Amino acid sequence: MDLADRARGFLILHESADFCDDCLGKALGITAEQARTIVEGLAKSPAILRDRWTCKSCRQHTMVTRAVPNATFALGRRSRNRLGRTA
């Protein structure tokens, strides 16, 4: 599992919660710079949103990243339905 997968997993686990690069880095055991590079990549996906907001963890108003609940839910439901049909 690479860092991008771990970061995405963390965000999806805490979906609709916002985390700044510092807190994301701390949560994943990497630097804020590494975290920023990773989430900038993840934010190309519609399921991951990057915006100026309040970090859930440190309450700083800064650039944060979050997993969009509807997008992750829709993806999950779609794959579950597909599995259900083939089973």
Q: Which residues of this protein are in contact with Zn ion, per CB under 5 A? A: 20, 23, 55, 57-58
> First-to-last CA distance in the chain?
28
Rounded Cα distance, 55 and 33, in Å:
16
**Shortest CB 8 distance to Zn ion, Å:** 18
**Shortest CB 37 distance to Zn ion, Å:** 17
**Shortest CB 28 distance to Zn ion, Å:** 13
Rounded Cα distance, 75 and 69, in Å:
10
CB nearer to Zn ion: give 12 or 20. 20
